[in-house]
Chain A
Amino acid sequence: MATKVAAHYISEKISKVRWLPEKLQQSERFVTGSWDMNNNFVRLWRLQSNPYAQNVDHTPRCNDKVSIEGDVTGLEFVTDDILAVSSADGHLSLLNVQRAVEEDQIQRTARSERLHEFKCSGTSAPCTAVAVYGTDIATVGEDGCVNVLSANNLKQVKRSIEADSMSLLAVNFVSQQQLVTANRMGVIRMFDTRIASETQPKIAFMVACQDAKSCNFVSCMATHPMQQHILICGSEEGSITVWDLRNLEYPASYLSAHNSPITDIGFHNQDPSKLFSSAESGEVWMWSENKTHIDPNQQDGKSAWLSGDRVRALVNVDGVLSNIRKPINSFDVHGTRLLCGSDSEAVYIVDDIL
């Protein structure tokens, strides 16, 4: 692959990165969220052509920033310019991005009440992840609760579910009403946002682990953009487990991948045959479905990811980034560009990944 990697040091440990959504063109703007700093910020960046025309075409420049109380733990776009930010003080904020010709701007437009707290001591619990479906925003926290809010009114929590008695690390919408959460033990639960916590159906399944005696949390989940019943989970031991949500008796596939906790996982939005995964040890891998190997007779619409032990044969793995040595906490792909944020306090922009 003829990929170009450019690292840009920005003096902040980065917990999340997201490209700004663009429909028809390659996105030139992105946002980053920081963690474990004295002051944490969500920053809005814009790519500019590099004045020192070497082999790096673009350099990002910070256009605007918003100070966030506590670590930024989740960044998701609700619409093209509204960004949901979850933070370690248990709040959810909405930021509004204004694209401009010269200097783009970003402002906080709403902040929720404290969504997550430890009941006994009354202290705030970190919000650990955020997921968006339409205008619905779901947050999960270390207190084991799931909160669903509407982006139109952050002051009112639409549904609060006491999902777990330990912290939840990931959340994802499967459909408008259904969401999945993953906890520190590797247990994934499915909830219906229309039902109150007491009457929730108890759907729980556990991610596979090589050593049954060790703990294995699920740190990230992703659903296939076209086939929403395919749920992919990345875990602490570095393995990827795939579930077919129509059949929860056993996992559809299990792949041992990285040798450190997987930090983020996700499909390419426009090309769902590509999956990306990033790991604590500083790697980003690209998994692409091997088109040549698919037998036309067996084309029954079944995804390669659900084919159990044969997945390895049907999916190719390429290293996109390696040797970063510090954890890659988050990535985002838009078009042909991959963006990564890392604890090495740099953003990495990889061009021409496809």
Chain B
Amino acid sequence: MNDDTLPTFALGDALATRCGNTLTASFVPGGSKIALSAYRPLKWSSRDAPSDSAGQDMVLIHMAQESSLYTEPLLRSLLSETNATFQTLQTMCQVQHGTKKGSEYIKISRTYRSIVRCCLEKLEHAKKMPEVQEDETKEQQYADAIMTFYAIECLWYLFEILYMQQHHNQLIVPQLLEWTRFHYPHTEDRATDLLLMAEEASEVDNYWDTLKTLVMLGHLDVTRAILSQHRKANQAAYQSAETVLKTMPIYQDGYALQKFCSQWEYWHNDLDRKLVSQVFAAEPELEVLMQLLKGSNEHWDEELLKSQDWYEFLPGYLLYTRPTCKPFELRIAVTNWHNRWSQLRPDWQMTQMSRMVRQLMDHDVKLFIYEAQKLNDSHWFATHLIDLIYHSGQLKTHFDQQNLDLPALRHAMIFEFGSYLMTTHNLWQLGIDYLDHCGQEGIAAIELLLPRIPLKTERQAFKILALAKRRGLVNVEQDICKVLSRRAYNDQRFGSALEWAIRSKDVLAVTAIADFILKHYSKTGIMLCQDVITSIGGRMFLSPRLVFLSKYYEFYEFYRQRDFLSGAELLINLLASRITPDYFWPSLLIDALPLLESEDPKIFSKETIAILQHLEMELVPLIERNKLNTAKFSNQTSKTIFKDYRVENIEEILDLMRLACARNLARAMIIENTAPAS
């Protein structure tokens, strides 16, 4: 890359200028931003002391971001429209493998072009709006975009003509004429004016100039029509000019090429003869026109000085000199033409576009693609064109000869373009489609980039989740759900946090939140987010802790509704379930206390023994262990704290529980062993 083509930006950071005008920068992950800040180089030998500039200026971090064309709404729709066409092309190639027709690719190519054309039209329209006219930067923006996309359309069209169409008999001159006509429409506009003016036209200043340009662009019918309206149209010179124009053979499909050549040859000689015999001498301007038709170099050279770009009149020249030019002959013709042009206009500077036109006509596709990537369109053109070339397979042999790995090139281009869109603000839905067609690498990139899209609303999160789900990216789904769960948790929206955790299907996350809810309950006696716990249903089996929470909540509900018998049964089951977390044992056993002590017995003897057993086997050892730990690491705070909102000291309840169990056991034994009164 050339040094002088690199753009430079001045940052003007006060601190940086103070310490030697140096900067450091690093890429900000998940975007195309670069963070810049002042920097003073330090070496191993520098003294470790506050620098001179310490405390004098603020340390500023500047964020630099590549500006994108596509913030402009009109260009945005270009992206979304071409995205749809891109997708069509991909599916078309997947569906009908093997039976591909060139015409279908041309259709795709035309669709792309028509999208660009439509966009150009809208841009032109927008540029003329009064509010844009006042805003200079905006106008410049539009002008730049129009220039870029105009070039793209022009080049794409030429590419389509030269490399994609199946020419009958491989004649390209008619298509090339069509191409120049599309891109130099001004002459045609002027011609229309002249036609409308009818006879008066011949007095207009640029009458002959327009006619000359028309001839050079190959618009013979229009030329004839204008000439026939001339005042002197009845004179001999005009009459024979009319004949010359009328009789010029135009190749038509299904015509024998040999026959056409001889006809053309005859017509050419005839014209030559007429010129030599001074048929048009009475009308010098008309004669020039005829000289041009003949392909007289001297006259063409003169007119060429007026043309805008080197290729403007090339197709016209070919029409009068080599109407049967074939694609492979074009190269020689172009070289000759170009040499001639540079001799005539030695100070002419080739623009990028005219260079690229040359490359296309020279069959230098490799260089053309290289240049295409330098256009200021974030690789839109190169990506889509290469993808199309790849699918149509028409230039395969060419690339093989050039040692160019087309599949790899396409892959890289699509990958880059997709990643660019993914990381650009709010174009991620388009970008992901490109990455989808990049195989393993694409999937990996999606996996990295999807979770980095800033989540603003849940609806957006659901959209990203759906994208991840469709691609089977379980990790991405999990990550996003976990992030949202955490966010909700920090915001004390525990119901939401629990639900996101359940969605993430991550056992640890679910357990952590269920733990929190249980602990909160045992500390305060308040059950959080009851509505969520009720509707967990089958999803509880994600984590044993969640099962415990749901079941415990069920018990809690029974208790509240004073359905003590069902409650007692559930409680016994919970005690025996082996999923009770350590910290919850006291609360669970305390819950049993009122049931044991109630006036009418609710717990059978067997169950009472079970409760007693749990008390002795689970809670007592726990408390012992806890004491030991507390003694051992008395200065540490990270011990298990047993707490329940109903009692101050856990050890107190041991005795209470034992007593209650004994009393209930006695009572239950008596009832159970008494035969029902018959």
Enumerate chain B residues within 8 angstroms of A344, measured Cβ to Cβ: 80, 83-84
B537 touches A13 (CB 8 A): no
Q: Shortest Cβ distance from A299 into chain B, in angstroms?
A: 38
B426 touches A325 (CB 8 A): no
- Indicate whether B186 reaches chain A with its CB closer than 8 angstroms: no
- Indicate whether A152 reaches chain B with its CB closer than 8 angstroms: no
- B373-431 with Cβ < 8 A to chain A: 425-426, 429
B429 touches A187 (CB 8 A): no
**Stretch in B70-78, B136-144, B264-272, B592-600 with 4+ CB within 8 Å of A:** B70-78
B493 touches A185 (CB 8 A): no
B493 touches A37 (CB 8 A): no
Pick from B81, B87, B528, B535: contact of A9, CB under 8 Å = B81
**Stretch in A103-111, A153-161, A162-170, A222-230 with 4+ CB within 8 Å of B:** A162-170
B503 touches A165 (CB 8 A): no
- Indicate whether B207 reaches chain A with its CB closer than 8 angstroms: no
How far does the alpha carbon of A344 sit from the alpha carbon of B430 in the complex, in Å?
8
- Indicate whether B457 reaches chain A with its CB closer than 8 angstroms: yes
Q: Shortest Cβ distance from A86 into chain B, in angstroms?
A: 12
Enumerate chain A residues within 8 angstroms of B532, measured Cβ to Cβ: 165-166, 185
A165 touches B495 (CB 8 A): yes
Q: Shortest Cβ distance from B517 into chain A, in angstroms?
A: 11
B492 touches A166 (CB 8 A): no
- Indicate whether B300 reaches chain A with its CB closer than 8 angstroms: no
- Indicate whether A147 reaches chain B with its CB closer than 8 angstroms: no
- Indicate whether A327 reaches chain B with its CB closer than 8 angstroms: yes
Place the interface of chain B in its size category: 35 or more
How far does the alpha carbon of A325 sit from the alpha carbon of B425 in the complex, in Å?
20
Enumerate chain A residues within 8 angstroms of B463, measured Cβ to Cβ: 280, 327, 343
- B65-120 with Cβ < 8 A to chain A: 71, 73-74, 76-77, 80-81, 83-84, 87
B499 touches A185 (CB 8 A): yes
Contacts A165-B532, A185-B535: A71 and B426 contacting too (C-beta < 8 A)? no
- Indicate whether A332 reaches chain B with its CB closer than 8 angstroms: no
How far does the alpha carbon of A54 sit from the alpha carbon of B531 in the complex, in Å?
57
B495 touches A261 (CB 8 A): no
Contacts A165-B529, A166-B495, A325-B84: A71 and B456 contacting too (C-beta < 8 A)? yes
Enumerate chain B residues within 8 angstroms of A236, measured Cβ to Cβ: 462
A73 touches B459 (CB 8 A): yes
A126 touches B76 (CB 8 A): no
Enumerate chain B residues within 8 angstroms of A212, measured Cβ to Cβ: 537-539
Contacts A120-B492, A213-B541: A88 and B457 contacting too (C-beta < 8 A)? yes
Enumerate chain B residues within 8 angstroms of A121, measured Cβ to Cβ: 490-491
Contacts A11-B77, A185-B532: A343 and B71 contacting too (C-beta < 8 A)? no
How far does the alpha carbon of A4 sit from the alpha carbon of B225 in the complex, in Å?
42
In the complex formed, the residue of B with least CB distance to A167 is B458
Pick from B76, B457, B458, B528: contact of A345, CB under 8 Å = B76
Pick from A9, A120, A142: contact of B458, CB under 8 Å = A142
Q: Shortest Cβ distance from B557 into chain A, in angstroms?
A: 12
Place the interface of chain A in its size category: 35 or more
Enumerate chain A residues within 8 angstroms of B433, measured Cβ to Cβ: 325
A261 touches B462 (CB 8 A): yes
Q: Shortest Cβ distance from B60 into chain A, in angstroms?
A: 25
B499 touches A11 (CB 8 A): no
- Indicate whether A297 reaches chain B with its CB closer than 8 angstroms: no
Q: Is the interface of A mostly helix, strand, loop or mixed?
A: loop
- Indicate whether A118 reaches chain B with its CB closer than 8 angstroms: yes
Residues 30-41 of chain A, each 1 if its beta carbon lies under 8 Å from chain B, else 0: 000001111000
A88 touches B456 (CB 8 A): yes
Q: Shortest Cβ distance from A120 into chain B, in angstroms?
A: 4
Pick from A12, A165, A167, A327: contact of B531, CB under 8 Å = A165
How far does the alpha carbon of A36 sit from the alpha carbon of B534 in the complex, in Å?
34
How far does the alpha carbon of A166 sit from the alpha carbon of B535 in the complex, in Å?
12
How far does the alpha carbon of A350 sit from the alpha carbon of B539 in the complex, in Å?
41
Q: Shortest Cβ distance from A101 into chain B, in angstroms?
A: 22
- B134-163 with Cβ < 8 A to chain A: none
- Indicate whether A248 reaches chain B with its CB closer than 8 angstroms: no
- Indicate whether B278 reaches chain A with its CB closer than 8 angstroms: no
- B517-562 with Cβ < 8 A to chain A: 528-529, 531-532, 534-535, 537-539, 541-542
- A254-273 with Cβ < 8 A to chain B: 260-261
A260 touches B466 (CB 8 A): yes
- Indicate whether B304 reaches chain A with its CB closer than 8 angstroms: no
- Indicate whether B460 reaches chain A with its CB closer than 8 angstroms: yes
How far does the alpha carbon of A261 sit from the alpha carbon of B503 in the complex, in Å?
15
Enumerate chain B residues within 8 angstroms of A35, measured Cβ to Cβ: 459-460
A126 touches B80 (CB 8 A): no
Contacts A128-B458, A165-B531, A215-B539: A38 and B71 contacting too (C-beta < 8 A)? yes
B535 touches A206 (CB 8 A): yes
Q: Which of B81, B87, B456, B496 has the most CB of A within 10 A?
A: B496
Q: A166-B496, A219-B462 are in contact. List 20 more A-B contacts (CB 8 A).
A: A11-B76, A37-B426, A38-B71, A38-B426, A71-B456, A88-B457, A118-B493, A126-B456, A165-B532, A166-B493, A184-B496, A184-B499, A185-B499, A204-B531, A204-B534, A261-B462, A280-B463, A325-B84, A325-B433, A345-B76
- Residues on B lying within 8 angstroms of A by beta carbon are 71, 73-74, 76-77, 80-81, 83-84, 87, 425-426, 429, 433, 456-460, 462-463, 466, 470, 490-496, 499, 502-503, 528-529, 531-532, 534-535, 537-539, 541-542
Complex A-B, nearest 6 residue pairs according to Cβ-Cβ distance, in ascending order: A165-B495, A212-B538, A11-B73, A9-B77, A11-B77, A166-B496
A-B contact pairs, 18 of them (CB 8 A): A11-B77, A13-B426, A35-B460, A36-B426, A37-B426, A38-B426, A71-B459, A73-B457, A121-B491, A126-B457, A128-B459, A166-B495, A169-B458, A204-B531, A215-B503, A217-B462, A261-B466, A343-B463
- Residues on A lying within 8 angstroms of B by beta carbon are 9-13, 35-38, 71, 73, 88, 118-121, 123, 126, 128, 142-144, 164-167, 169, 184-187, 204, 206, 212-215, 217, 219, 236, 260-261, 280, 325-327, 343-346
